[in-house]
A and B are shown apart, each in its own frame.
Chain A
């Protein structure tokens, strides 16, 4: 049973370019969460999605960031017009139902570097 998969593992973008981060949840999981880890900080919640629905986006920056989890295919976190401050590790987690009963399983992360 494959775990949560994220790609790419490392992504380098120049300022102003777009970054697309992909997350495939564990088999049978329909809930996806995105977290961001800035250098030497803890993880901060960004967005929680179910298939075709955004449930909670309270941690998403108001501009340039968007997320989707289509009926088919992986969840995508999209960052438009990246800036140096977007450099961070972005982690995806998935759970079976809601995480009050089922734990969240994390992927290996995508490390974004903006030059």
Chain B
């Protein structure tokens, strides 16, 4: 079945550092890919998405590119802020429309 693997956390960075959170996937078809963010005690918010190969999703300084050849969708941000501290989930959606999530990566940004 479909699955998503993302790097284990927690990831601890200083403010203004560069962020990369790796995400790879396994799918039988051609999925859409997503990054969701969860702040403490809250639900998930869609951060960005990409629906086909080589698409780049971007939002609030975060970016991720759909790489079909490496089945990856790594999340990057050039300069993190304390307010980016949260849990980040990579996910895919294929036929049937349900989302398949990775285990989540905790990001902690120190001032």
Contacts and interface: CB of A to CB of B under 8 A. Distances in A.
Given A100-B32, A103-B49, A43 B97 contact: no
Interface in B70-111: 89, 93, 95-104
B91 to A, nearest CB: 8
Interface string B22-44: 00000000001010100001111
A42 B103 CA distance: 4
Contact of A33 (B36, B41, B99, B102): B99
18 contacts: A4-B43, A33-B99, A42-B89, A42-B104, A43-B44, A44-B101, A45-B99, A45-B100, A58-B98, A93-B99, A98-B97, A99-B97, A100-B32, A103-B34, A103-B46, A104-B99, A106-B36, A109-B42
Contact of A100 (B42, B97, B104): B97
A74 B100 CA distance: 24
B45 interface: yes
A69 interface: no
Interface of B: 32, 34, 36, 41-46, 49, 51, 89, 93, 95-104
Interface string A68-102: 00000000000000000000000101010011100
Nearest to B100: A45
Nearest to A92: B43
Interface string A13-50: 00000000000000000010101000001111100100
Interface residues on A, range: 20 to 34
Contacts of B49: 103
Contacts of A43: 44, 89, 99, 101
B101 A42 contact: yes
Contacts of A59: 98
Contacts of A107: 43
A43 B87 CA distance: 12
Contacts of B100: 45
A58 B42 CA distance: 26
